């Protein structure tokens, strides 16, 4: 049999009795959902100041699964694994402790710590002295050391039951879901957005996912995988939505009409506008971003101020004071780092000298050149799905378009870099025709090219060319490959 006693997060314990009762009830329900997926017969008991989990199984794999499940539930700061006994005398407690800890303390220094609730003829100190003295006398090589012992034996007593702690496990703390209002996280699949989403989940906010697609089907599948992973691991007790917005038309409009240095801030404001419209549609009061102060040009204090003024919707930035390495470290802890590392970076807008001190009046003037019907259209056409339906899709592998280093005769290379990139470093190939068609115009202009030729897409990193080739394949253009010199 396995028994765990779940300790409440300290911030739950200090709340008023009605709030504490509500939080603890939500935690109890969440534990039931997770644990009974592992062991249907497990008992979950709400003891007001803790929640106990009891499984009659003796399968070590079940034990490991129970521990893993409890570690991932928001609201659990730690949980102890115990052996429970009903006692009449102090010697009953000692004998049980001796049996469980004989091998552990043999040849080591140790101390005994006891917490006690209820009415007894002895104190916690009496328990520590009696059990510690017995172990000291009857275990070979064992000796008591109250400061910095090699082993600490923990005993908790409540009325006539003693719980001898065999192991202590740490949880992720925070508040149970959903003790806070729903939020909508702007998910890109990178380090920052994944960690920001996790931080909101562990604070008890049911977190939905909003994805602004800049890279076609391949990009969307990658972000769906990352989103599903976070939901499944940390918030699967509650269903949420995954919403995808095709933002390429918005990017194209910005690239063609907005002054170069202002494009980054304008793009972020368009995302916040779109996010607010989506949030309002689903009755969500806050957006979540992975922005960190000063990390990139659009995240200076001046620029964030200008971005925030585009909407009345609350914008939460849980990573605002984190360093990049701190964010990466958390991503490793929560299991999203490998996905983030493999997630391609998408060149939405690239400014030669992006502004770091945007002025509201300048940005507003630039936005007068933007056709806002495009923004409304992409939001109206947003695809909404239950996160649970991603599981099947998430397992699908994205096929890669064929890449070549050496071009055959008669090949046509399509340079899909932005005009600024192409101007700064033109692509010139001896004996090979090179045409320039920016990635944001591929979808609408590629069909105008003669279709009796083989085309090889080129960009600086090979990421966008690979994605655009896949999109063209999906649209029936199979005469497209990728050029990777």
Res 129: pLDDT: 95
Q: Is 290 annotated as a binding residue?
A: yes
The residue behind tokens 């990017």 is 251
More confidently predicted of 399 and 8:
8
How large is the angle between the packed helices 263-281 and 248-257, nearest 10 degrees?
Answer: 150
What ranges make up the beta strands (E) of 306-354?
A: 314-316
What is the helix (H) or strand (E) element at residue 301, kind and residue range? helix 301-308
Res 209: pLDDT: 98
Which listed residue (111, 114, 347, 459) is catalytic? 459
Is 111 known to be catalytic?
A: no
- DSSP assignment string, 48-92: SSEEEEEE----HHHHHHHHHHHHTSTTEEEEEEEEEEE-SSHHH
Res 1: pLDDT: 82
Res 346: pLDDT: 60
Q: Is the pLDDT of residue 42 over 80?
A: yes
What ranges make up the beta strands (E) of 306-432?
A: 314-316, 383-386, 403-404, 412-415
Question: Is residue 157 a contact partner of residue 182, using CB atoms and an 8 Å limit?
Answer: no
190-243 pLDDT, tens digit per residue, is 899 999 999 999 999 999 999 999 876 767 877 888 899 999 999 999 999 999
Query: Phi and psi at residue 155, in whole multiples of 5°?
Result: -130, 130
Structure tokens at 66: 């129970």
Q: Confidence class of residue 471 from pLDDT cuts 50, 70 and 90?
A: confident
Res 12: pLDDT: 87
- Strands 109-117 and 180-186: what pairing? unpaired
Question: Is residue 216 a contact partner of residue 193, using CB atoms and an 8 Å limit?
Answer: no
Question: Is residue 90 a contact partner of residue 127, using CB atoms and an 8 Å limit?
Answer: yes
Structure tokens at 327: 């964010």
Res 401: pLDDT: 77
Rounded-to-integer distance, Cα 455 and Cα 66, Å: 54
Rounded-to-integer distance, Cα 321 and Cα 301, Å: 12
Res 350: pLDDT: 62
What is the average per-residue pLDDT within 435-455? 86
SS3 150: coil
Return the percentage of the chain with pLDDT > 90, whole number. 67
What is the average per-residue pLDDT within 67-84? 93
Question: Is residue 264 a contact partner of residue 418, using CB atoms and an 8 Å limit?
Answer: no
141-150 pLDDT, tens digit per residue, is 999 999 999 9
Of the candidates 347, 375, 385, 364, the one whose C-alpha atom is nearest the C-alpha of residue 276 is 375
Structure tokens at 98: 């001796």
Q: Is the pLDDT of residue 287 over 90?
A: yes
Mean pLDDT of the chain: 90
Rounded-to-integer distance, Cα 328 and Cα 190, Å: 10
261-273 pLDDT, tens digit per residue, is 999 999 999 999 9
Of the candidates 15, 31, 43, 17, the one whose C-alpha atom is nearest the C-alpha of residue 74 is 31
Res 459: pLDDT: 85
Res 377: pLDDT: 96
Res 345: pLDDT: 60
Q: Is 268 annotated as a binding residue?
A: yes
Q: For 253, which DSSP code?
A: H
Rounded-to-integer distance, Cα 402 and Cα 191, Å: 29
The residue behind tokens 């944001």 is 440
**CA distances in angstroms from 468 to 412, 417, 456, 474, listed in the order given:** 16, 11, 11, 10
Rounded-to-integer distance, Cα 417 and Cα 462, Å: 10
What is the distance of C-alpha 27 from the center of its chain?
A: 20
What is the helix (H) or strand (E) element at residue 208, kind and residue range? strand 205-213
**Domains recognised in the chain with CATH numbers:** 2-170 (3.30.2130.30), 182-388 (3.40.50.620), 398-483 (3.40.250.10)
Side-chain-side CA neighbours of 86 within 13 Å: the count stands at 0
Res 392: pLDDT: 66
Question: Is residue 2 a contact partner of residue 62, using CB atoms and an 8 Å limit?
Answer: yes
Q: Is the pLDDT of residue 120 over 60?
A: yes
Question: Is residue 243 a contact partner of residue 209, using CB atoms and an 8 Å limit?
Answer: yes
Q: Is the pLDDT of residue 112 over 90?
A: yes
Q: Is 186 annotated as a binding residue?
A: yes
Question: Is residue 2 a contact partner of residue 66, using CB atoms and an 8 Å limit?
Answer: yes
Q: What sign has the CA pseudo-torsion 164, 169, 174, 178?
A: negative
Of the candidates 165, 103, 366, the one whose C-alpha atom is nearest the C-alpha of residue 258 is 366
297-353 pLDDT, tens digit per residue, is 888 999 999 999 999 999 999 999 999 999 999 999 998 887 787 676 665 556 678
Question: Is residue 276 a contact partner of residue 392, using CB atoms and an 8 Å limit?
Answer: no
- Strands 383-386 and 480-483: what pairing? unpaired
Q: Is the pLDDT of residue 463 over 70?
A: no
């Amino acid at each position: 049999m396995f028994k765990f006693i779940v300790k409440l997060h300290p911030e739950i314990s200090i709340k008023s009795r009605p709030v504490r009762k509500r939080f603890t009830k939500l935690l109890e329900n969440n534990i039931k959902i997770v644990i009974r997926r592992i062991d249907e017969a497990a008992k979950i008991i709400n003891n007001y100041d803790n929640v106990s989990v009891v499984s009659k199984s003796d399968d070590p794999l079940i034990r490991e699964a129970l521990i893993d499940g409890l570690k991932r539930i928001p609201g659990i700061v730690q949980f102890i694994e115990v052996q429970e006994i009903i006692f009449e005398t102090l010697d009953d407690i000692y004998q049980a402790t001796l049996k469980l800890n004989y091998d552990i303390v043999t040849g080591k220094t140790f101390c005994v710590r006891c917490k006690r609730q209820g009415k007894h003829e002895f104190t916690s100190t009496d328990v520590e002295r009696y059990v510690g003295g017995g172990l000291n006398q009857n275990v070979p090589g064992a000796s008591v050391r109250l400061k910095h012992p090699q082993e600490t034996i923990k005993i908790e007593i409540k009325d006539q039951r003693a719980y001898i702690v065999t192991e202590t496990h740490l949880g992720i703390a925070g508040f149970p879901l959903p003790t806070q209002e729903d939020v909508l996280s702007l998910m890109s699949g990178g380090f920052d957005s994944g960690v920001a989403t996790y931080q909101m989940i562990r604070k008890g906010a049911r977190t939905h996912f909003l994805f602004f697609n800049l890279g076609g089907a391949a990009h969307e599948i990658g972000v769906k995988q990352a989103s599903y992973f976070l939901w499944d691991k940390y918030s699967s007790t509650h269903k949420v939505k995954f919403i995808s917005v095709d933002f390429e038309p918005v990017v194209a409009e910005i690239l063609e009409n907005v002054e170069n240095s202002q494009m980054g801030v304008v793009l972020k404001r368009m995302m916040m506008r779109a996010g607010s419209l989506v949030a309002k549609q689903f009755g969500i009061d806050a957006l979540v971003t992975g922005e960190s102060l000063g990390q990139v040009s659009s995240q200076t204090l001046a620029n964030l101020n200008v971005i925030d003024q585009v909407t009345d919707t609350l914008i939460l930035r849980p990573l605002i004071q984190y360093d990049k390495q701190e964010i990466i470290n958390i991503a490793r802890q929560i299991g999203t780092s490998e996905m983030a590392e493999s997630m391609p970076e998408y060149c939405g807008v690239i400014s030669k000298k992006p502004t770091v001190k945007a002025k509201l009046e300048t940005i507003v003037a630039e936005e007068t050149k933007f056709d806002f019907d495009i923004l409304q259209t992409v939001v109206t056409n947003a695809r909404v799905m239950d996160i649970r339906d991603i599981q099947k899709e998430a397992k699908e592998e994205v096929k890669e378009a064929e890449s070549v280093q050496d071009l055959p005769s008669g090949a046509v290379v399509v340079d899909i870099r932005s005009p600024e990139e192409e101007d700064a470093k033109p692509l010139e190939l001896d004996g090979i025709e090179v045409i320039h068609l920016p990635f944001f115009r591929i979808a609408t202009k590629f069909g105008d090219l003669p279709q009796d030729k083989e085309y090889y897409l080129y960009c600086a990193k090979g990421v966008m060319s690979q994605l655009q080739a896949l999109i063209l394949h999906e649209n029936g253009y199979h005469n497209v490959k990728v050029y990777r010199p």
